[in-house]
Structure 1
Amino acid sequence: MAIALVTGGSRGIGRATAQLLAQEGYTVAVNYHHNAQAAGDVVADIVAQGGKAFAVQADISDEKQVEALFSRIDQAAEPLTALVNNAGILFPQCRLENLSAERINQVLTTNVTGYFLCCREAVKRMSHQGGGQGGAIVNVSSAASRTGSPGEYVDYAASKGAVDTLTTGLSLEVAACGIRVNCVRPGFIYTDMHASGGEPGRVDRVSPAIPMQRGGQPEEVAHAIAWLLSEKASYVTGSFLDLAGGR
């Protein structure tokens, strides 16, 4: 079929997405930053189910590593036709007056610059004008881009606001190049990321305030991503799917 690159594919939403895309016939490039064991486990699970996958290490905030990541994909026998920009970082909950420039820049470099770089390299390979077969990109944003995450993660929320704008602008820029660009905005999903924010049980704490009275599962987000990548969404670009239980 073709290759789907999932950044941050070793855990959470990325892991669920990689597994589902493999079931749908993609050869999945599972990108990871540092946890080779977790990425290897995802690949092993996919292969055990009869799918095809390989792991590729890269820190997407580093331009040279992103270029090397895509060069590795170029060595495969199949073309890249799908990109899921999912890798991201989050730091402990903090009010804005206590944020350091170092923290802000780390968040923006990974969550924004990394997405731009991966989109850049994917477009070069997918664009009809460049001899590509076309393709689809799904950016994983967050409901935080709408709420602002006051008192917790304003820096993270701002980075996701930039992802939303990237999605809109790039979708228009490459619409005539055979490339669709869409975005999912998950709300409170049961993933390890909340532990990075210092509150592993955050989803359970906020669940009563969610209209559907529960947090979401990574697989629920993965199905939305897979639909946006599929031919079933062939006339959809520049669109946003909120997966936040009504919040």
Structure 2
Amino acid sequence: MTQLPAVLVTGGSRGIGAAICRLLATKGYAVAVNYASRADAAEAIVAEIKAAGGQAVAVGGDVADPAAVAAMFVAAEAALGPIGGLVNNAGLIGANAKLENQPQADIERLFAVNVYGTIYCAQEAVRRMSKAHGGAGGSIVNVSSVAARLGGLSGVVPYAATKGAVESLTKGLANEVARDGIRVNAVAPGMTATDMTTIEMREQAQKTGIPMARVGEAEEIAEAVLWLISPASSYVTGTVVTVSGGR
């Protein structure tokens, strides 16, 4: 039986990221649970995975800091072995305000985490996975949003712009590294019940017409990520899988 690679999940201590970590672990993947500030939350996920017989480690690091990203990968590989999968899940939604009222500092931080952070992590993953660098290949899954296509709810337009960038990166990088044995895809969730989304935001999204008439659950997004990380999607790259209840 082929041993599954270790997977690094950024922003893995809560919400969709935590659901991804739990599901990957139940399927036999060793998981590096990244966190930026909530070490306690990440360690709780790790403890939960280990209690169920899985393998996991918590690795701190702000994805917006290239040096921290490099250190995060080093720590993950020291604990779990070569990283063969990356889930770029870490992200912010930013200030809830009309575009003309968005503070500059909030916009800059939003792009630093959602866009630059995704790029920095992808760079490190490619350096380790690429067959051109002596790696064994692998899979990168970026977490986008239907906001990239729909423009986002009123008040979170900059967030939508960051996710548009993530989807462009996904397609471009997929083309660039396909022959190096790396697949790059994205999952675009619709409105999902996590601590990043308020009740008001969920209600607003439902009013705009979710055909399934409900918001999604983090575990439903995790299932799509699992498929894209796994060999089951071995002929899939440069693709965005939408998980949005029909939006």
**What is the letter of the counterpart of residue 103 of structure 1?**
D
- Aligned partner of 1:39 in structure 2 is 42
Q: Output the aligned Cα RMSD.
A: 1.2
Contact 1:95–1:150 (CA under 8 A) maintained in structure 2: no
2:205 maps to amino acid: V
Say whether the 8 Å CA contact 2:95–2:106 is kept in structure 1: no
Aligned length: 243
Residue correspondence of structure 1 range 8-87 to structure 2 within 5 A? 8-87=11-90
The alignment's TM-score, normalised by the length of structure 2, stands at 0.95
Change (3 A) 1:159 1:201: same
Instruction: Name the stretch that deviates more: 236-245 or 90-99.
Output: 90-99
Are 2:205 and 1:202 equivalent residues in the alignment?
no
Q: Is the 8 A contact 1:184 1:241 kept in 2?
A: yes
| 1:242 counterpart letter in structure 2 | T
Kindly state the Cα deviation for residue 203 of structure 1 after the two structures are TM-superposed: 1.6
Report the Cα distance in structure 2 between the residues aligned to 1:2 and 1:183, rounded to whole angstroms. Answer: 19
Q: CA deviation at 1:151?
A: 2.3
In 1, distance between residues paired with 2:80 and 2:20? 22
| Distance (Å, rounded) in 1 between the aligned partners of 2:80 and 2:18 | 23
Distance (whole Å) between structure 2 residues aligned to residue 15 and residue 26 of structure 1: 14
Q: How far apart are the structure 2 equivalents of 1:71 and 1:128?
A: 19
Q: Distance in 1 between matches of 2:95 and 2:178?
A: 38
Structure 1 segments, 4+ long, off by >3 Å, are: none
Q: CA deviation at 1:201?
A: 4.2
Q: Which runs of 5+ in 2 are unaligned?
A: none
> What corresponds to 2:242 in structure 1?
242
Match of 2:141 among 138, 141, 147: 138
Q: Which SS does the other structure have where 2:37 is aligned? A: coil
Pairs within 5 Å for 1:60-139: 60-139=63-142
Q: Which amino acid aligns with 2:116?
A: T
Percent identity over paired residues: 49
Moved more, 228-237 or 64-73: 64-73
Question: Could you say what secondary structure the match of 1:94 adopts?
Answer: coil
Q: CA deviation at 1:63?
A: 1.1
- What secondary structure is seen at the aligned counterpart in 2 of 1:152? coil
Q: Distance in 2 between matches of 1:66 and 1:162?
A: 20
Matches of 1:207 and 1:46 in 2, distance apart? 33
CA offsets, 1:167-214, max 9 Å, x none?
A: 0000000000000000000010000001xxxx3442244324211000
> Unpaired runs of 5+ in structure 1?
none
TM-score (norm 1): 0.95
Query: Do structure 1's residue 168 and structure 2's residue 171 form an aligned pair?
Result: yes
Alignment partner, residue 224 of structure 2: 224
